[in-house]
């Protein structure tokens, strides 16, 4: 885990940070204590059944691996996959809509570690600026800075 994950979790506990919207699929933000996290691309720590939509833990699926490859859903026998968005799949509509809604009401939108290339997440900071909120971008690729209206 990075200090950035811990810093965001601390900021959420202390009040100024309301929501974390992430494209990461590793669950590290929750592991540092963040509670209000919208995972746009899902999470590798959960498994979903493509037939019934039921979610399962990695531990439960590991037990299934002992008897069947690929593992089948213990509820319906359907195909299991990591609960992540693969190329060509749509983002979960409910998560995306909640992320957009939160973005539309923020005062400051902080982007950390993103190239702002992957859509539709890359459009969120643009929408935030149109609504008049401040935008601060820190990235390993570039640093834009603070924009004032």
Examine the residue annotation and report whether 41 is marked as an active-site residue of this protein: yes
Mutual angle of helices 93-104 and 123-130, in 10-degree steps: 30
Q: Which listed residue (41, 55, 56, 148) is catalytic?
A: 41
> How many whole angstroms separate alpha carbon 126 and alpha carbon 94?
20
Judge residue 12's burial from the number of C-beta atoms within 10 Å of its C-beta, 0-12 exposed, 13-18 middle, 19 or more buried. Answer: buried
> How many whole angstroms separate alpha carbon 40 and alpha carbon 92?
7
**Catalytic residue set:** 41
């Amino acid at each position: 885990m990075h200090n950035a994950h811990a810093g965001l979790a601390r900021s959420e506990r202390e009040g100024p940070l309301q929501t974390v919207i992430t494209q990461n699929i590793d669950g590290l933000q929750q592991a540092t204590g963040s509670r209000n996290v919208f995972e746009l691309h899902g999470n590798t720590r959960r498994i979903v059944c493509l037939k019934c939509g039921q979610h399962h833990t990695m531990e439960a699926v590991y037990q299934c691996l002992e008897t069947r490859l690929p593992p089948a859903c213990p509820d319906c026998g359907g195909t299991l996959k990591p609960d992540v968005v693969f190329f060509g799949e749509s983002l979960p509509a409910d998560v995306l809509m909640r992320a957009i809604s939160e973005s539309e009401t923020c005062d400051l939108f902080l982007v950390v570690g993103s190239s702002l290339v992957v859509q539709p997440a890359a459009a969120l900071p643009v929408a935030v600026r149109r609504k008049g909120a401040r935008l601060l971008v820190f990235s390993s690729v570039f640093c834009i800075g603070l924009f004032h209206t």
